[in-house]
A and B are shown apart, each in its own frame.
Chain A
Amino acid sequence: MSEIEQIPVTMTVNGKKVQRFVEPRTLLIHFLREDLNLTGPHIGCETSHCGACTVDMNGMSVKSCTLFAAQANNAELTTIEGMANADGTLSALQEGFRQMHGLQCGFCTPGMITRAHTLLQENPDPTEEEIRFGIAGNLCRCTGYQNIVKAIQYAAAKLNGRDYQEAAE
């Protein structure tokens, strides 16, 4: 087998422009984790089922384990590392996940929060049913989702200028 020729890719990740050479077969998740050292997005299945690798690409949630880095050429990407507020404080979603106990082992959390972030762009005030459907591409083995739903409701309320009263169960 011969050496594989590398191709250039350029993208904006969490607001910063990056340029690298990659093999055409390099998956986006490996590019993010190994070339850019953004280890927030995780690998749970490599078949698009679990969503631990979810990132936002041009305003859409994508599973970075089944995209080539080359497919993200010229794209705008946001990962969990780009979720905090500009002043470094936790975003409404990050705070919601902590307040509502929306995580346990933390492995699905980066993908889940990144998905929820895009979901709230698509639908700023979703119902419980819409949240459950909206995060159905992201698996969690620890929480049973109930507190994740509350975490997203907490964030939606806060972003819409309301208080969220429900306590974590």
Chain B
Amino acid sequence: MNDMTPSREQREAALEGMGCKRKRVEDIRFTQGKGKYVDDIKMPGMLHGDFVRSPYAHAKVTKIDATEALKIPGVIAVLTAEDLKGVNLAWMPTLAGDVQMVLADGKVLYQNQEVAFVVAEDRYIADDAIQLIEVEYEELPVLVDPFKSMDPDAPVLRPDLEGKMEGAHGPRKHHNHIFNWSVGDEDATDKAFAEAEVTVKEMISYHRTHPSPLETCQCLASMDKVNGELTLYGTFQAPHVIRTVASLLSTIPEHKIHVIAPDVGGGFGNKVGAYPGYICSIVASIVTGQPVKWVEDRMENLSTTSFARDYHMTTEIAAKKDGTVTGLKVHVLGDHGGFDACADPSKWPAGFFNIVTGSYDFPVAHLSVDGVYTNKAPGGVAYRCSFRVTEAAYCIERGMDVLAQKLGMDPADLRLKNFIKAEQFPYNSALGWEYDSGDYHTAMHKAMDAIDYRGLREEQKAKQEAFKRGETREIMGIGVCFFTEIVGAGPSKNCDILGVAMFDSAEIRIHPTGSVISRMGSKSQGQGHETTWAQIIATEIGIPAADIMVEEGDTDTAPYGLGTYGSRSTPVAGAAIALAARKIRAKAQMIAAHMLEVSEFDLEWDIDGFQVKGNPEARKSMKEIAWAAYNAPPPGIEPGLEAVSYYDPPNMTYPFGAYFCVMDIDVDTGVAKTRRFYALDDCGTRINPMIIEGQVHGGLTEAFAIAMGQEISYDEMGNVMGASFMDFFLPTAVETPHWETDHTVTPSPHHPIGAKGVGESPNVGGVPAFSNAVNDAFGFLGSTHIQMPHDAWRVWQVAKNLGAHG
């Protein structure tokens, strides 16, 4: 070896592999305004589509007259449900087994529902036409309160389902009932409650909100009638599924549909489903023979495509006097809006809400969920969470605080007492999951020490005394949350979307010079896959990440995958990447053995190549092997060096974390100030710590928004109240707290690289931490539970009602 030979450390650093804070590849184009998002794409002869929408929440549509609109020069067509019926597309299937109107078919079920689709030469002309389309409505009684959905005299929202007492998920007990889903041992749970020393019961609501990515939903459909091929660019989190659905609905063969998700400006669950805009654009392009672009505006986005949450959770916990929990009982009333369009795996009408036992060793539990229709927009997507997991985490984390208060126990101590112990993993929960790995006590103690938890409690006590003496108008809350997520959907034995199993995939091809192209079935919307996927490959096959190109989103070139949501990319696609890379390494070992004229078994892997055991100077780098793979493969072995892997995970992964929020609240203004927020995450093996922490910051900011003000609410007429950024709270840099991040590492035992996924943890864990802080602040004044969101007006009202204003 001469002095120029790089050291092992230098060779390792040159890879920029797993564990490295690699700077992002994507940023080069994004910082120069050279990203390519859907609305940046133009095609010759492109038309623009836009919707006429209903001003009413519930009404019959008796007449649609587009005569005047069609007179405007540049207006090409106006589509209504009657036109769509000709191609059997007036209704479309939802991911939840229901059907949804694409355009109003005789009635509307929520405000801003799509009534007609205008196609025009530009967006301005389309808007002009909308103003001139006359629609006659006959108003119907509006149903807004989900607790009244199943009243005997509640209006019939879905005449199309009249008389159908069997839904996609079993029997329906009322004309506005969608499903009941029950899990767990009801008798054993009842027995635990009958024998309990202490019980608590609280109705905990998680209000309706919206993922609201900065880029709205949009698409560009182009039908090539000569070749019978459809190209569809769109803001899709799951482009391959969109292609399959488009093929099934349109009867265009799947290989003649080209779905492409280019750069996507955030998703957070909003861009998983299929929306009327997509269907109408495709139909309009088929009808006109020209490309048709549809771009949602912000009001349309907030009021029609995919709300999240809206779960009302009656939560009961049974316990011993010493705090040991003995049973959990939860009933959920889910408000699904006018159609059940929840984006859950098909067999899971309430997603994975049965993770509701959380991080605690409940011997028995029972869960029952009823979904109902109301005159609100459909959706029920997982807003930066795995299917209904954030609702479950909020339910149990709020519930544990309610129990702690009743017992007079510290909420952190109550959690420590009931945690599943490290030696209990893999742990089978009372509601049917097998938790893969965890070390909750270590994480909790690390977090409590980091923030000086006991010291904060002393300070809080002193402040409460001072408040009672009238020396201060400020109260202090300490929000504790210890969440367990369930992500990485999922094993084909229990997870599919419209019959498509929820595997994911990777394809890796090494070129002769040792550079790499790789493609995955996942689709980044800001997660930085072009950066991190290359890091996994770099570590696995010893080629620098800088020489590895990652592509996603083009269904013609990428292998089939179920896309990116529910923190599933790293657990599923990430595993496929590692396994595809290992196939390449296995072949490379044979080639290296041939090159070095030794047996394969005499070789060992070392960072970026194979070396002879005991003689590390006899080695072949991966780059050398790549050249040989094409040009001098061993006899009998086919040339080339590439692999594909489809990964069906054996289990979900279970990331967890300990979050603490310290808040000071002015009782006279209701202003709650976050003094400190500490987030410890355990997502198993960490691929890129910089990106993990960036995701935690972003998810915490979303959690802050949801807990402290963000809401889609409706008045009694069904008018949507939060449909612009004037009303819908998105925090700016001024309100957003400073985030402190920390971690422990408990790898997943069943994942090839031990990674669990992290993107959604901060949203799941952040919301209870904020809400518990507000509740904790007011607890000493006698409140047990305060509903979210905790904006200043509501907090002020709470203070007033508790007599804090004197």
Contact = CB atoms under 8 A, between A and B. Distances in A.
Interface stretch (A5-13, A67-75, A79-87, A158-166): A79-87
B565 to A, nearest CB: 14
Nearest to A167: B21
A17 interface: no
Interface string B727-762: 000101110101101000000000000000000000
A143 B697 contact: yes
Given A136-B733, A144-B739, A169 B214 contact: no
B33 A146 contact: no
A132 B21 CA distance: 25
Given A25-B124, A49-B726, A135-B733, A107 B33 contact: no
A108 B699 CA distance: 16
B527 A40 contact: no
Contacts of A84: 32
A84 B741 CA distance: 33
Given A136-B732, A140-B214, A169-B697, A103 B298 contact: no
Interface string A99-113: 101011111111001
Given A38-B33, A97-B27, A141 B698 contact: yes
Interface string A28-47: 00100110001111111111
Nearest to A26: B124
State the majority secondary structure of interface residues on B: loop
Contact of B726 (A47, A99, A107, A108): A47
A141 B212 contact: yes
A89 to B, nearest CB: 11
A167 B689 CA distance: 12
A146 B739 contact: yes
A95 B30 CA distance: 11
B733 A132 contact: yes
Contact of B733 (A38, A52, A98, A149): A149
A168 interface: yes
A45 B298 contact: yes
Contacts of B733: 131-133, 135-136, 138, 140, 145, 148-149
Nearest to A169: B693
B596 to A, nearest CB: 41
B128 interface: yes
B725 A47 contact: yes
A23 interface: yes
Interface string A111-151: 00100000000000000000111011111111111111100
A153 interface: no
Interface string B516-535: 00000000011110000000
Contact of B266 (A79, A99, A142): A142
B30 A101 contact: no
Nearest to B211: A141
Interface string B54-85: 00000000000000000111000000000000
Interface of B: 21, 23-24, 26-35, 37, 39-40, 42, 71-73, 123-124, 128, 132, 212-216, 263-266, 268, 295, 297-298, 525-528, 690-691, 693-695, 697-702, 724-726, 730, 732-734, 736, 738-739, 741
Rank and list the top 6 A-B pairs by shortest CB-CB distance, nearest first.
A40-B33, A105-B526, A107-B265, A106-B30, A80-B33, A144-B697
Given A1-B132, A139-B730, 15 more contacts: A23-B124, A26-B124, A43-B295, A44-B265, A47-B725, A97-B31, A101-B24, A105-B213, A106-B263, A132-B736, A141-B213, A141-B268, A142-B698, A144-B739, A169-B697
